Structures are given as C-alpha cells and as structure tokens.
Amino acid sequence: MSEHKSKDPLHGITLEQLLNRLVATYGWPGLAERIRINCFSSDPSIKSSLKFLRRTPWARKQVEDLYIAMIGENPWYQGKD
C-alpha cells in the first residue's frame, strides 16, 4: 500500500515549528515588517508569540498564509527541516 500524502501544506506542522521557520528565514524584524502585530516587534519571543497566535485567529491566519507563501517561493522545499 502507498502512503497517503496530504495536499495541505500545513499538515503535520505545529504552530511552533511554523513560527520557528519563519523567524529563521526572516528574523523578528522581517516578520514584524511583513505582519504588523506587536508580539513580533515589541520584545519578541516564541513563547509570547505562540500564546498570542493561539488566542487570535486572524493573526494566526496571517502567519500561516506567510508560511505558505514562503514555501511556495522555494522549489526545493520538501516539508521537512
């Protein structure tokens, strides 16, 4: 039997993994420039950002959309580190 692969680019990726990849790619200043929320610009940390994003659906959607755009720009992306 073949293994089923999801077409969802966020399948199997936690919010923490997603945020870590965005920070590694853009840095906190670049992330704050792309998504205007205080948790990215004022004393940013993974922990505080995760807390905010888990409680704020519109902000989480913006972060997820940026991640999807980021992986779409990279033709070599395989979905794993």
Q: What is the DSSP string of 41-69?
A: HSS--HHHHHHHHHH-HHHHHHHHHHHHH
Whether the pLDDT of residue 70 is over 50: the answer is yes
54-68 pLDDT per residue, tens: 999 999 999 999 999
Give the torsion sign (CA, 39, 44, 47, 50).
positive
Q: Say what the pTM is.
A: 0.80
Q: Give 58's Cβ-side CA count (13 Å radius).
A: 2
**Pick the residue with more confidence: 45 or 10?**
45
